[in-house]
Amino acid sequence: MDLWEAPVTVYDALQDDLPGDDSLCLIALGFQLNPDGTIREELEERLKVMLAASEKYPNALIVCTGGGTAADDPSATEAGRMAEWLEAHGVDPSRLIAEDRSLTTAQNAIYTFDILAKLYPQVKQIAVITSDYHIATGVLLFGAEAILRDSDIEIVGNAAWHAPGGTLSTMFQAGALIELSGDVETAFEIYYETYDIHELPPLHNDSAQ
């Protein structure tokens, strides 16, 4: 609850004093794909912020996180399309990690921590990159997941695209925290009642597995 109530400063670009090695991981939060599997403008704008961050910290690992949200292309994932875009814009593919299962921001945190804990134990600090209205939720959920896991990973920065619109309510954040705690059924009821999920495929209770 203290983490939820703490104010979060949103930055245009990643801060200057972060680690210069691969103990730093940059986390790009996904955004729903077009029905045909192509990237929407908002996701591309987030990726431009990530590209600048990746150039500022060329030794940092990069997680692209987001699952299959293309209504007409079940093979497409947000993470996959994000990684393809970054590689096409010059990012070394050896730095790119695709977390392609998640359909919620809580799942972004859960599955990313799964990957980092299992395969990248050198990561001790992370920075969240997304749209401005999404930063507080991303920082909250990744921070909460670190607490729940008793992880020594710290959130040390963020960078955001300033979206012309878009909001996430306190109720949405409450649902996401409930999802992290394990009550996925209640969380998804809150999502469907309070959040516009557009043309998303049906959400599955993967977090309980």
**CATH, residue 147:** 3.40.50.620
- Structural domain count, the chain: 1
> How far is Cα 18 from Cα 23, in angstroms, rounded to an integer?
10
In this structure, is residue 174 part of a structural domain?
Answer: no
In this structure, is residue 186 part of a structural domain?
Answer: no
SS3 110: helix
H-helix or E-strand spanning residue 152: none
In this structure, is residue 205 part of a structural domain?
Answer: no
* pLDDT at residue 209 in the model: 35
Domain limits for position 106:
2-165
In this structure, is residue 185 part of a structural domain?
Answer: no
In this structure, is residue 109 part of a structural domain?
Answer: yes
Contacts of residue 138, Cβ cutoff 8 Å, sequence gap at least 6: 27, 29, 105, 108, 128, 130, 158
* pLDDT at residue 4 in the model: 83
pTM for the whole thing? 0.91
Per-residue pLDDT of the chain (209 residues; tens, 9 = 90+): 888 888 899 999 999 999 999 999 999 999 999 999 999 999 999 999 999 999 999 999 999 999 999 999 999 999 999 999 999 999 999 999 999 999 999 999 999 999 999 999 999 999 999 999 999 999 999 999 999 999 999 999 999 999 998 888 888 899 999 999 999 989 988 888 776 544 444 445 444 33
